[in-house]
Every structure is written in C-alpha cells, then in structure tokens.
Amino acid sequence: MPKRTLRPLLMIVSVSQRPGAPTNADTSFEGLQMRSLPTGRAKWPTMALLLGSSVLFRQDATAQELTAQGAIALDPIVITSRKIEEDLQRAPVAVTVEGRESLGTGKTDTIRDIDKQAPNVTSFGATGSSFTIRGVGSQALQGINNEMGVGTFIDDIYVGSIFGVPSFLNDLERVEVVRGSQATLYGKNTIGGAINLVSRAPGDTLGGDVELSYGTDNFTRVRAGADVPLADGAVRTRTFLSYTRQDGYVDNLATGQSLADTNALAGRITVESDIGSSGALRVTADVERLDDDGDQPWAPVDLAFDHEAELDFPGDRKLTRGGTAARYDHAFDNFTFTSITGYRAYDLDLSLDGDFTAGPYDPDMGIVALQQGQEETQWQFSQEFRVTSPPIADNPAAGDIRWKGGLYFLYEDFDGSQFYDVAAVSANAASRNALDSQAETYAVYADFGYFLTDRLEVTGGARYSYEREKATVTISSPSGNFFFGAPAVADDTVTFDDLAPEVGLNYQVTPEVFTYAKISKGYKSGGVSQFLEVDGSVNVFEPETSWSYEAGLKSSLLDDRLRLNAAVFYVDWRDQQSNVFVSDFQRIVANASSASSRGIELEASALITEDLSLRASYGYLDATYDDFVFTFFSQQTGQFVTTDFTGNDIPYSPKHTASLLLDWTTRVTDAIDMVVSPIVSYRSSYTFDPVGTFRQDATTIVDLDITFQADNWSASIWGRNLTDEEYLTEYFLFTGIDYGIAARGATIGASLAVTF
C-alpha cells in the first residue's frame, strides 16, 4: 500500500509535459490527469466552509510545498473554459467543475445529473440535456431543430441539437459548467452559459480498467477501458466501451408492462501523438446507441407521481449519435496555432402514445386511440482556427498582454418531422409537419487582456457572427385527418448577424483573493420552425440577445484549506423565443417576450481534517418576465386571443438552489480505505411554462456513495434519491389537463472496479 493520500472533494487537474511536447499551456491536453496530493496527518483541525468550487495558486507557497511541510491543502484546478488552460481561481468566469473522481456510476453519471452541485442551474426536457442557467435557456423546445440557450461542447466541438448530446458521462476527465453568457468565445446559443465535456486522455503506459455494476430495477452496467501506447510511447491510444440497461419504473395500467427502460451502448477511441518537438495531434471518435421505449411515460400528474400511466400505444426510440474530432496544436516562438475539426451526427426514430390515455376505443363515438412521433437526422461539420499568445507567468508585470483570436465555420444539415394521427394508420400515412434545412455560421473573434499594473488587468473582446439558413416546411396528411392543418409547402431563406462584445476588469487584491467585473452580450440564433403562420408563410423567429453584468470574488484561505467564491449578476434578456399554440396541435415560435434575472451564487470547498472534506453551494435567483403579451389568431376559436404573462416566473428557475457534499475517508485495514460521500441537493419550487399555474414543489435529493478502495480495485455501495422524493422531470398542459413524467424513485446498487 503506498503512502496514504488525502482524497479531497475537488480533485486536481494537473498538467504534465513530456520531453519534446509543446510548452504552451493551451496545447498540452494530453497531460491532463486527476490526482490527489500525498499528505501527512494534520497538525491542527480547522472547521471551514467554501463559497466557490475553485482553487487559488498561492504565491507564497504552493499546495505541494505545504504538503512537504506536513500541512494539508486543497489542490489547484486547471480549466479550459476560456479556450486556454488556466487556474480556475484566476479565471474571471463562474465555473463549477466535476473531476474524474466525482463522475461515474452512483455519482454524477448522466447529463441530467450535472445540475446537482451547480448553483442556479436546472436541467429539463426528455433528454435532460436542456438547461437553464441563471434563468436563461430555451423556452421553445416543443418542436424539432430547436436552438439551445445553453450550448454543449464535447472536446471544444459544439453540439447543435439536444439529441446530439450523450446521455451518459462516459470516460470523461471533467465537466465544466460555465455560468453566464459566453457568446464572445463560444458563439451562438451560449446566451445562458455552456457545458464543456472533456474526454479522458490516453495513459502513458499499458493498462486498463473494468467496472461491473448492478442495482434496482435490474440496473446492469459493464464498462471497460484500455490504454495502449504505440511506437515506443510516441503514439498513445485509449479505447472505452460501456453497456447500460435498466428496467422501467412506471407501471402501464393498460398493458401491465413497465415503462421508461434504459438500453444504451457507447464507445470512444482516442489517439494522441506528438508531432515533432512543437506539435501535438489528438483524434477522437465516439458513438452512443439507445434502443428503448423512449422514456416518455406521460400521464396525468396524479398518476405520474404514483409512477403509473395508461398508454395503449407502445413507445419506441432508436437513437444513434456520435462524431469524430481532430485537434492539432503547434507552438511557435510567439504564439500557438490550434486547429479543431469536428463532425457530429444523430439519427432519431421516436414513437409514443398520442393522447396519453388508454381509451375506450370507439370510433363511432369519435373516441380513438392516437399516436405521435418524431423522426430526425442531422449532421454537422465545424472548423475552428485559433491563435493564442504565450501564457503569462504567475507574477505578471505592468504592460504584459495576452490575447487570442480565431475564425469559426459551422455547417448543419437537418431533415426531420413530427407526426400525429389515429393509431390505426401507419406512421408513414400519419399527419405530419416536416422541416428540411441547411444552415451556415461564420464567425471571427478576438479577446485580449492588458495589465495596467502587476495586479490590475483590463480585458476586452468581441465576436462577429453571420448566419444563413435555407429551409422548406411541408405539411401533409396521407390519412386525410389533417391534424396539422391542410397540406402545404413553403420555403424561405433567412440571414442573421450579430456583434457580441465583452469588457471587464480583473484585480488580484492579495495573493489569496481575486476579483473581477465584466459586461457581456449574449446571443442565441434565430431560424425557421417546422410550423406555418396563419397566412401560410414560413414561421421565422428572430435571434435572442442579452446583456449580462457580473462581479465575482475568488479566495483561498487558511493555507489553502478553505476556498470561498461568490458572484452577483444581472441579466437583461430580450426577444425571447417562445412556443405559442394556435390550436391543440398547431403552434408557432415567436419572439414574444423580454425578461430579466438577478441573483447571487456562493460556492465553498474545505478540508476540515485530513480525512474529511466538504463542498457546498447556494444560489439565489429572481427571474421573471418583464413583458410577455402576445396576440394571435386562433384557428380553433376563429378569434384573436391575447395572452399576458408579464410578471410570471421564467420556467425552470427555482429561487433557491443549494447543495452539500461531504467526503470522509477512514482506514479499514493497512491496504484498504473506506470513503463515505453523501450529497444533498435542494431546489425550491419552480414552474414549467410561462402560464405558471402548475408548480413543482421544492425537492431535496439525497444520494450516498460508500467505496472501499485499495491499490488496484474498488468496491462501492451507492444509493440515489434515498428519501424517495417525488418530483416531475417534464410537464405540459394538454386539453386542460396537467400531464407529467415523474423521476425514478429511490435506487440502490453496487459496483466493482479493477485497474491493471
């Protein structure tokens, strides 16, 4: 057994350079590793809390130096949220980081779990990959080819659809939840923030890992990864495979079967190589395949909370998604050049019950079973070229300058439709509306920082984007039932452009305290929906924009045993895209509202003793519609209808979010440690739509992981939602009835992992 190590709650992302590898911090992705620092027994105990999940490099003593002196300290974290590798505590951006040891079975496992420890972040939607951050996100998701308000990036590749985002956080190095508008560096559809998924790098030596898990509802998982260096270590590879299945948890009273099962297969291959003495190349390919009932057991909310439904039309989902990426970095004397090329695609075939009831079936009385579904294919190609100045030392001087700039191109091809009809007709004959579109995005951006003194830095940047979308909308009904209206075809070509600037000030108050303030513009793309206006023209919606004002503080105290971070913000959100129904089956997307949000975010991490660490967060949010009055002609009533939601809460924006995670390690034998990690996540009440008549009650989710670990194996017992909290993951109002999907209840399981 090696020397006992401290297992802090926030693990370090360390950068290790190989001889001959590029030295610019923006290029050394291959050396990222999660690790703990070895420590001795603490000389004195300290109670501490942190308001911020970040770490500050101390200029008078590093964490390693403190360790050598017999003290214990939190480990530094390096992030790439601003397109360079930098210490999180000196980055003027609010970021919550989940490292490798916080990810996995029984922990932060799916894309939906990301919001548990991040303040003012809420996931929602059928896939769980839609988010609101600080109240800002996507409110127009009841259709196809929607623009997201919080962008997801896989190894710096933008994912253009919620169905393109992987369900499981497989084999990742870390997850970065970036809060606040990021339009200058990231581009369109990051008006609320960004989710960065950073895949695990190949190891330097031959080795691997295997995990077997089993739990409630026959949860079964097999995961395996292998690191294989080639050409005497000049080429490094990692291959990863994962299979996950679980029975459904909703009883279908109409058939006696269970609903909401899971059946997923995923894999990734990564190849890295140094190119000469100054270059590095990384190529990845990943895929995820889902084959299940669609996880859509809609039911009236009373039934939903009992995990029951009455559906007479079987649900089915087949979804394949994945992509490839190539990143090349070359360090020149005065700058680093980076090329990032990405291809991603998905194919979705989804069908489910159309009326969320089980009959009775009586066509003579006009009572029929209904079906609905969605079919989509999408592929995208992106290319980014970036140049970055050399990194500045930990002790900058007046007159130092850092900069980065780049060119970006994205092409998206989408072909999809929604269908709705009586269950007796085939899906091919059903009434449907379809959208066939091709979109191009061109952007140029620049960002700089200039040190007025050795502690005061002024920053600025801007991104100009130009977008063009050509689209054709088709409404058809081979069955003759015309659920989406009379057959029609319309097309249009739309263009948008935007300039998104950002300015800020950063001030290093002391070596332990860093502050920042900034103003930034956010941008969410406009486009064409699959719907038609009342006059038969294509439904075009304009972009959304926002202005965000933010100030933050990051501190590291008590010899780096305590980190306290805080941020305050105000967001002015304009031309919000919203779904507006003109009948039960026909709707449009309109820029119908403006809104604002304001709040605070507090995060904390602390090493209370050598064996006990703590992480906590709290978010306060006040997010409401400032102006949401919309008048439209209803084909259902034949009259103009005016709706006014001014003053209502923005959906998926709880006023209070909080989390608490403890991590306690104790020695069981000379060779085995036990790590106990409970986590509590709280959300106050929130609404699901602008109407706001139905509210999700406040929820408190309790998870627990108990792991026994040795040199090359670990065994875990874990539980999720142990108090069996009842809450909805989805909701909508249909024909005057509240429908929803409740989350899975309490689950427990066990995992065994071996490394070699």
DSSP states of 329-343 as a string? EEE-SS-EEEEEEEE
What's the maximum distance between 2 C-alpha atoms anywhere in the chain? 85
pLDDT of res. 643: 82
Residues in the chain, pLDDT under 70:
1-70, 140-142, 360-367, 581-586, 632-637
Q: Determine the length of the chain.
A: 756
Please give the angle made by the CA atoms of 162, 119 and 500, to the nearest 5 degrees. 60
**Alpha carbons 334 and 332: distance in angstroms, whole number:** 6
pLDDT of res. 360: 65
pLDDT of res. 27: 36
Whole-number Cα distances in Å, 303 to 484, 696, 728: 29, 15, 12
Cβ neighbours of 389 (radius 10 Å): 19
Residue 360, preceding peptide bond in cis (omega within 30° of 0): yes
Structure tokens at 3: 């020397």
| Sign of the four-CA dihedral 169, 172, 174, 176 | negative
Cβ neighbours of 497 (radius 10 Å): 12
Its pTM stands at 0.89
pLDDT tens digits for range 312-348? 999 999 999 999 999 999 999 999 999 999 999 999 9
pLDDT of res. 24: 38
